[in-house]
Structure 1
Amino acid sequence: MTQIFVVEDNVFQREKILEIIARVVEDRGYPFDLESDVWMPRDILQAIDDKALPNIYFLDIDLRLDQNGIDFARSLRDIDPAGYIIFVTSHSDRIKEIIDQFIAPHAYIVKDETDFQQIHTDIAKALENVKQRENIQYQGQTYHMEQPGMIMEIPYKDILYFETVPRAKKSILHTISDAYTINRYLKAIKTEFEAEPNFASFNSYLINLHHVTEVNRKIGIIKFTNDEELYGGRRIIDKFYQQYSTYKS
């Protein structure tokens, strides 16, 4: 079962956030397990090492513990690359932009001790988005692929991305563990995924956003859950970043 962790060093704020999450999970019947006793970064990293993934993390950027919030988020990404990081923050949009490039959080919640009703609304919205996304991920959809002497059904959840082969009627399908050459134009493949919200189409690629863990616009790479990296020009990466930011918001 998906675990929810709250990483907040302010005792009052942590208890209020835990209280709100517990109420939302109970009221809506979400299949999430709230872990209220484990909240130190090192303890969470140890706890999730042997748990089912992905998990949900409400994380204060301004931690003053054994790691700050941003460093801890990076550590989480190493173990749980598809996890849902929800930053609880009062930082400006400039800091949000920096964090987005390297950590790709699922959502932001602004801390305001004078308006816990708004925090409740934001938490409920974030958890609803997680639930909807998880429902989409595991509906058993597959990509049907026929090659000479081979017929395969590739689960959507295993697909990283498709890319076109220049000057050839071929595409390459990259999965978590393999790559396959397909005798079809990428344009034709894209039409099959037009209604799939997890897949982003741009230029010579069709990318499964669920498997993207990092978009680094500075050096021009897209990183996936299996540590595979896709390199592109600044203009291409910027265009993809806009789609990815919309998907994660």
Structure 2
Amino acid sequence: MHINILEDSIIQQQRLRQYLEELIQENNWLCHDINTYSRSEQLLQDLPTKGSHDVYFLDIEIKGSDKKGLHVAQAIRNKDPYATIIFVTTHSEFIALTFQYQVSALDFIDKSQNCEAFKERLKNAYYISCHKMNRNPL
């Protein structure tokens, strides 16, 4: 399984990557790699031509564009209907909007949570995504 992170803040990108690496190690989960992107164009260029059931952690606001993460989610969903999309953002006002984009996101994780709560949400989302795809995370 591949994990892809779209986050334009290098600090938030490193935080998310670090927590995911810790969770993978602590739980002995299988993960082929973690790819990080600060620009949506980079991620879109690397999308596989056919679905590979990857996991995507997407920020909604990328470089001042309010809904860029939602547009990326639509592109992902068009290529891979079984991908797991998880929004990680500080913009809780966009929760309802994610339904309008019909991207079937698994979760909407608020970055401003304390470390333990944030990491627990990541853990649950990753675990559920593995079971959703009938993959054992171990």
Structure 2 spans left out of the alignment, 5+ residues: none
Further displaced range: 65-74 or 24-33: 65-74
Deviations 1:114-142 (A, max 9, x none): 61221111100101111222227xxxxxx
Whose strand proportion is higher, 1 or 2? 1
**1:44 partner amino acid:** L
Q: Distance in 2 between matches of 1:5 and 1:78?
A: 16
Q: Name 1:108's counterpart in structure 2.
A: 108
Q: Name 1:129's counterpart in structure 2.
A: 128
Whose helix proportion is higher, 1 or 2? 2
Q: Name 1:90's counterpart in structure 2.
A: 90
Larger Rg: 1
Deviations 1:85-143 (A, max 9, x none): 100123346x322312422101111111x61221111100101111222227xxxxxxx
**1:73 partner amino acid:** A
After superposition, the CA RMSD in angstroms is: 2.3
Aligned residues: 133
Answer yes or no: is the 8 Å Cα contact 1:9–1:65 preserved in 2.
no
- Match of 2:63, SS state, is coil
Further displaced range: 7-16 or 98-107: 98-107
Indicate the percent of aligned positions where both proteins have the same amino acid: 22
Q: Distance in 1 between matches of 2:56 and 2:5?
A: 6
C-alpha distance 109-72 of structure 1, shift in aligned 2 (>3 A) = same
Give the number of the structure with larger relative contact order, counting CA–CA contacts within 8 Å between residues 6 or more apart: 2
Q: Name 2:25's counterpart in structure 1.
A: 26
Q: Name 1:81's counterpart in structure 2.
A: 81
